[in-house]
Structure formats: structure tokens, C-alpha cells
Structure 1
Amino acid sequence: MNIEEYREYCLAKKGVTEGFPFDADTLVFKVGGKMIALANLSDFDAGIALKCDPEHAIQLREQFPDDITGAYHMNKKHWNNVKPNGSVPYMLLKELIDQSYLLVYNSLTRSQKLEVDIENEKPPGLLH
């Protein structure tokens, strides 16, 4: 997966926004104001940080020890760093992005989810 595919895949999800809250190189995707994924644009191949169920995170790290590790500067119990061009199959990488999105979206309050849903229903081109 390259940076363009990663960006398009993340932005295709309902309510996802992108930004650079930390520095000019770290692209962060959020839903409801909470992070779902982040990657360094200068070194994309170093990995994508994705939220993950703690038990599944351990299984993935054991299955792909060279390409899935605890995410740098993140809570390693809940965040994995996944190398986008290593041994992790393309479809699994997409599934891990999906899982990260769902973990975060499902943790939103009812009002936050409603806001995400309403914003996503607006016709393109209308101002918020």
C-alpha cells in the first residue's frame, strides 16, 4: 500500500478527517475528533499506527514480528505499528484500518456518532 492508497482508504470512511496536529510530517486521521490512524509522510514505509483490540494486537505481533510492533509514542497495549509494504497482506492491512476505525467510532458517545452521521449526510459542496 502506498501513501495515496492509504489516504484515500481512510478518507472514504464515514466522518473521517485528516490533519497535522503534531508536526508537518505526521498525517493523522480522526473520526469524531479521535485518532484512528497516523503515519509519517517522510518515512511512510516505517509504518502506520492503528488502534487494535489488545488481544488481537498480541496475536498480530506474534504472527508478523518484523512488520507489526507496538506503535511508537502510543499506548502499545492498544496501538500497533504496521509496515505497509512488508509481509502483511494488503487485504489484512485494509482490515486493520477498518478495525481501527470501528474501535474508535464505536467508542464515541451517542451524540458524537450522531454528529458524524449528520455531517456525512450533507450534500457535497455545502458549507458546514
Structure 2
Amino acid sequence: MTLDDVIRHCLAKPGAEETYPFGDADLCCKVGGKIFAFIGLEGGGTVGVKSGATAEEAGLWRERYPDDIAVSAYIGRHGWNRVRLGGTVPADELRELLDLSYDLIVAKLPKSKRPAISDQP
């Protein structure tokens, strides 16, 4: 997946919004006011995603792709990984990671902030 593919996939999610809270180099995709993807726009592109409910679950992804998935700085202990785009992670598995991150964040939102069922594809 290209950087543009990742952005399109994230922003196509129900309730997704695009923000730049850390400057123009990082796009954050949010749902219900919570970030589900940190997209690095420079240097070939990276995406930070919640890859598991725990750090241990996220670690399984790092074991599968040690050259392209690393623990996210500061928030890795909460199950977040950083994925290098254009590496060995297949497109379908990257989409799976993006979907998992979105789903994990939505599940933690108060019901009042979750996207409406009619918004779901």
C-alpha cells in the first residue's frame, strides 16, 4: 500500500476525520476524538497503529515483520506499533492492522461518540 492508499483507507472509515495536531509532517486520523492512526508523511511514510489490546499482542506483529514493524515511541506499552510503508508487510495485512486499530479505538469510545450503525459499510 502506498501512503495515499493508507490515507484513503483510514479516512473512508465511518466517523473518521483528518487532523494535524503535531504539525504538517504527521497526519492523525481520529474517530470520536481519539487517534487510531498516526501517519508520518515524510521519508517514505510510516503509520502508527494500535496493533493489539496489549503490548504483548502488538509484539506478535513485530515478531512477524521485524524489519518493518517497531514499537511506537511513548505509547508502545499500550499496544501501538509503527509500520514502515513500502516494506515487507503485505497490503492485506496492513489493511488488517488499520482496521484493527480503528476497531480497538471505537470499542473504547463511549457509545455516544461511536459512529452510528448506519455509517458502517
Q: Do both proteins adopt the same fold according to a TM-score greater than 0.5, normalized to the shorter chain?
A: yes
Q: Whose relative contact order is higher, 1 or 2, with alpha carbons under 8 Å and at least 6 apart?
A: 2
Shift of residue 120, structure 1, vs aligned partner: 4.4
Contact 1:15–1:119 (Cα < 8 Å) also in 2: no
TM-score, length basis structure 1: 0.84
Inter-partner Cα distance in structure 2 for 1:63 and 1:4? 24
> What's the counterpart of residue 84 of structure 2?
83
1:1-128 equivalent positions in 2, closer than 5 A? 1-45=1-45, 47-53=46-52, 54=54, 55-72=56-73, 74-77=74-77, 78-113=79-114, 116-117=115-116, 120=119
Greater alpha carbon shift after TM alignment, 11-20 vs 74-83: 74-83
Count of aligned pairs between the two proteins: 117
Q: Percent identity?
A: 36
Normalised by the size of structure 2, how large is the TM-score? 0.88
Name stretches of at least 5 consecutive residues in structure 2 with no aligned partner.
none
Structure 1 unaligned runs (5+)?
A: 122-128
Distance 2:104 2:13 in 1: 13
Q: Secondary structure at the match of 1:30?
A: strand
1:124 — aligned with what? Answer: none
Residues in 2 aligned to 1:27 and 1:119: alpha-carbon distance in whole angstroms: 26
Structure index of larger Rg? 1
Q: Report the alpha carbon displacement of residue 71 of structure 1 after superposing the two structures with TM.
A: 1.2
CA distance in 2, matches of 1:17, 1:119: 17
The structure 1 segments of at least 4 consecutive aligned residues displaced by more than 6 Å after TM superposition are none
Counterpart AA for 2:36: I
One-letter identity of the residue aligned with 2:99: D
